C-alpha cells in the first residue's frame, strides 16, 4: 500500500476543504515547500498536489509554485486541478509532474482525453469525483447524471490505467472511506484504483488494502496526526 500525502494549494498555502466546498477551507500549513520536505522525510513515495486555484480559474494556475515543488522533490509528484487542455499538460510535465489527474475534461472532452493518452500514456490519470454515485465536475461544484462505474468502464475502454476515486461526501470529513463504492469500482474495472476521501486512521488504510486498493491519498488525517507516514508499511 502506498500512501500519497496531499498538498492542496490555494493562494500559495496548504489548505483542506470540507466535502469539496471552497467556502469551507482550512489552512493546514504555511509553507508548501516545508510540507513537501516533511512528507518526503517521513517516507512518502508519491505526493499528490491539487491546484485549487487552477481548478476554478485556469488563469490563476500556480505554475511557478508547482514547478518549484517538483524541482525540489526526490519522489514523483501527481498533480490535479482543472487540467483541461494539452497546453496545460505540457506545461505541468515540463514543470516536473510525473502523473496528471484529469477530471472534468475527461467527461466533457473525450477527444482531448484520447489525445492526452496517446501522447503521454500512463502519465495520464483520470479522477472520478462522485456524489451519491454520480460523477461531479468543475471543482465538484456541478453533479452530472453519469454513474461513476459506467464512466470508469468508458475510461478503461479508452486505455486509462489509473483512476483516482473520491467520494465527495467523505472528503475532509474523517469519517472513513466509502469501502462499498471502492470495492464495486475495483471489481468493475482492471484499472488501478487510487482511493481518496475520508481516511481518518490506519485501520481505514488496512481496510482499503483488504479490498485490493494499492494506493490511497490522505490529507486531513496526516495533518491532524491520526495517520502517520512514519512506520506505515508501504508495500
129 is catalytic: yes
CATH number at residue 93: 3.20.20.70
* CA–CA distance, 146 with 43 (Å, rounded to integer): 37
* CA–CA distance, 18 with 2 (Å, rounded to integer): 23
Among 8, 51, 53, 204, which one carries the catalytic annotation? 8
Hunting for cell 498536489 — which residue is that? 49
Supply the pLDDT for residue 214: 93
228 in any annotated domain: no
Q: With a cut of 50, list the residues of the chain below it in pLDDT.
A: 231, 233-235
Considering its fold, how many domains does the chain have in total?
Answer: 1
Supply the pLDDT for residue 121: 95
Q: Rounded mean pLDDT of the chain?
A: 88
Degrees (nearest 5) of the Cα angle 187, 193, 197? 110
pTM: 0.88
234 in any annotated domain: no
Residue 31: closest CA among 69, 67, 73? 69
52 in any annotated domain: yes
In tens, the pLDDT along 213-226 reads 999 999 889 988 99
* CA–CA distance, 152 with 105 (Å, rounded to integer): 14
Supply the pLDDT for residue 155: 95
Among 51, 53, 129, 171, which one carries the catalytic annotation? 129
235 in any annotated domain: no
HSE on the CB side for 57, CA within 13 Å? 6
200: containing domain: 2-223
Amino acid at each position: 500500500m502506498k500512501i500519497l500525502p496531499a498538498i492542496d494549494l490555494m493562494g500559495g498555502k496548504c489548505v483542506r476543504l470540507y466535502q469539496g466546498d471552497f467556502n469551507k477551507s482550512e489552512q493546514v500549513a504555511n509553507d508548501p515547500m516545508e510540507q513537501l520536505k516533511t512528507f518526503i522525510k517521513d517516507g512518502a513515495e508519491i505526493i499528490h498536489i491539487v491546484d485549487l486555484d487552477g481548478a476554478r480559474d485556469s488563469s490563476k494556475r500556480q505554475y511557478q509554485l508547482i514547478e518549484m515543488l517538483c524541482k525540489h522533490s526526490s519522489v514523483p509528484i501527481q498533480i490535479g486541478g482543472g487540467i483541461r487542455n494539452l497546453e496545460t499538460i505540457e506545461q505541468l510535465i515540463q514543470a516536473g509532474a510525473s502523473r496528471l489527474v484529469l477530471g472534468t475534461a475527461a467527461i466533457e472532452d473525450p477527444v482531448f482525453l484520447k489525445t492526452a493518452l496517446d501522447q503521454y500514456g500512463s502519465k495520464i490519470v483520470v479522477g472520478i469525483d462522485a456524489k451519491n454515485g454520480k460523477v461531479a465536475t468543475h471543482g465538484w461544484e456541478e453533479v452530472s447524471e453519469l454513474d461513476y462505474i459506467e464512466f470508469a468502464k468508458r475510461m478503461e475502454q479508452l486505455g486509462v490505467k489509473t483512476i483516482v476515486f473520491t467520494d465527495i461526501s467523505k472528503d475532509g470529513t474523517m469519517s472513513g472511506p466509502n469501502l462499498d463504492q471502492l470495492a464495486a469500482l475495483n471489481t468493475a474495472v482492471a484499472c488501478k484504483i487510487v482511493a481518496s476521501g475520508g481516511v481518518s486512521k490506519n485501520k481505514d488504510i488496512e481496510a482499503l488494502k483488504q479490498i485490493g486498493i494499492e494506493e490511497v491519498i490522505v490529507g486531513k488525517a496526516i495533518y491532524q496526526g491520526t495517520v502517520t507516514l512514519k512506520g506505515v508499511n508501504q508495500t
